[in-house]
């Protein structure tokens, strides 16, 4: 796995156990992170009103609102927040389910200091990448709209550009100029990562893309094959739930066991 450079970020740490919360806070502050601790989900939501967190570390079992419920609430408020679930061996299955539902990763407790440092660093990289992608997409869309509104735009040029940027695979239409995706005429609301993943598969015309290549192209991250498979699987899961009529029996995004994925459209 390629070594990732450590850099400081803003982290929200939520755990009702003071010793665990303080211990993780001390580890992360040593790397220069700005950390805010919260003992409950309610306190965490209040903290977000004045603290622009990039990454959140959530304990799964807390009094009142659980960590998985808090995950949903946080992602609704801050879609680009990278969330790491904190769990013991007894709730490992719950943590893995949370990853399928939008968490970036999970941490087993107790953990050696290097483990949370590495996971949080990768989560910060992912959060900033998603935020930057969203900003670029918005800028491109505004620029395209402005270009279309300018007087004297050549109709022939516009038609040629539109044809070049439209990628059609069966019932799937991907507009590379506007970043809009339709399936059977229905618009799909994809995240920047989901869009990049779908486009990468569509551009290969049905050929298989291996896990490592997909992770490098879509997530801009160099990983070992076993890690790449786990990283890309999360995004395949969310993309299938937006694209496939029956996500558990996919007909578009197909897995080639032990190799990667391909698009059948």
Write the pLDDT tens digit of every residue in 171-199: 888 888 788 888 888 888 888 888 889 99
17: domain CATH number?
3.40.50.2300
Q: What is the pLDDT of residue 175?
A: 87
Element (H, E) at 196: helix 192-202
Nearest C-alpha neighbor of 64 from the set 85, 38, 37: 38
Angle, CA 162 vertex, CA 177 and CA 166 arms, to 5°: 70
pTM above 0.75, yes or no: no
pLDDT at 2 over 60: no
Q: Within a 10 A sphere around the Cβ of 160, how many other Cβ atoms? A: 11
In a domain, 100, yes or no: yes
Helices (H), 36-154: 41-47, 67-77, 92-100, 114-149
**82, 94, 91: which is closest to 221 by C-alpha?**
82
Tokens encoding 26: 């001390």
In a domain, 133, yes or no: no
In a domain, 185, yes or no: yes
Separation in Å, CA 247 to CA 68, 104, 110: 22, 20, 35
* Per-residue pLDDT tens over the stretch 98-133: 787 788 888 887 777 788 888 898 888 888 887 787
Q: Give yes or no for a cis peptide into 110 (omega within 30° of 0).
A: yes
* Residue 83 backbone phi and psi in degrees, to 5: -110, 130
Residue 96: which domain range?
10-128
Which CATH number is 191's domain given? 1.10.10.10
pLDDT tens string 216-236 = 888 877 778 888 888 888 889
CA dihedral sign, ordered 60, 65, 68, 74: negative
Total domains, the chain: 2
Domain's final residue, options 93, 128, 163 = 128
């Amino acid at each position: 796995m390629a070594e990732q450079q450590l850099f400081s970020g803003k982290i929200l740490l939520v755990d009702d156990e003071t010793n665990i919360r303080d211990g993780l806070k001390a580890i992360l502050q040593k790397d220069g992170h700005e950390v805010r601790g919260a003992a409950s989900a309610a306190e965490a939501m209040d903290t977000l009103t004045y603290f622009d967190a990039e990454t959140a570390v959530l304990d799964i079992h807390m009094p009142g609102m659980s960590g998985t419920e808090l995950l949903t609430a946080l992602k609704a408020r801050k879609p680009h927040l990278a969330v790491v679930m904190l769990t013991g061996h007894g709730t490992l299955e719950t943590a893995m389910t949370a990853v399928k539902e939008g968490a970036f990763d999970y941490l087993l407790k107790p953990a050696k200091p290097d483990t949370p440092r590495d996971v949080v660093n990768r989560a910060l990289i992912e959060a900033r990448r998603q935020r930057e992608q969203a900003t670029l997409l918005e800028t491109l869309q505004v620029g395209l709209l402005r270009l279309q509104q300018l007087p004297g735009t050549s109709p022939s040029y516009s038609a040629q550009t539109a044809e070049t940027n439209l990628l059609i695979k069966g019932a799937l239409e991907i507009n590379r100029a506007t970043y809009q995706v339709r399936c059977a005429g229905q618009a799909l609301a994809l995240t920047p990562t989901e869009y990049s993943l779908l486009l990468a598969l569509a551009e290969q015309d049905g050929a298989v893309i291996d896990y490592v290549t997909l992770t490098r192209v879509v997530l801009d991250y160099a990983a070992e094959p076993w890690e790449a498979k786990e990283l890309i699987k999360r995004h395949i899961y969310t993309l299938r739930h937006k694209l496939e009529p029956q996500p558990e029996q996919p007909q578009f995004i197909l897995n080639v066991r032990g190799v990667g994925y391909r698009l059948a459209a």
